[in-house]
């Protein structure tokens, strides 16, 4: 539940940023094994840390599974 809440919050934050600014901007996400963060960099160089949310056990379990060698795909 908190994982979907995290992703919903990030999507909502991006929507709010998109409607509030007419300038060029970049949105970045960093999903760590324990938490996720987002930030916005505007064309003028301003950096806005947007969110840092700790994942619940479901999120942490998913990230652990994704980090296993058996989860890698060699193309």
Of the chain, the end-to-end C-alpha distance in Å amounts to: 33
More reliable by pLDDT, 20 or 12: 12
pLDDT confidence of 4, banded at 50, 70, 90? low
- Quote the tokens at residue 72: 């890698």
What's residue 7's pLDDT?
A: 63
pLDDT confidence of 56, banded at 50, 70, 90? very high
What's residue 70's pLDDT?
A: 82
Taken in order 10, 52, 38, 2, the sign of the CA dihedral is negative
């Amino acid at each position: 539940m908190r994982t979907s809440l995290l992703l919903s919050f990030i999507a909502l934050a991006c929507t709010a940023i998109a409607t509030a600014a007419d300038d060029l901007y970049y949105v970045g996400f960093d999903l760590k094994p324990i938490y996720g963060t987002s930030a916005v960099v505007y064309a003028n160089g301003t950096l806005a840390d947007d969110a840092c949310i700790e994942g619940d056990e479901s999120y942490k379990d998913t990230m652990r599974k994704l980090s296993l060698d058996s989860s890698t795909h060699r193309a």
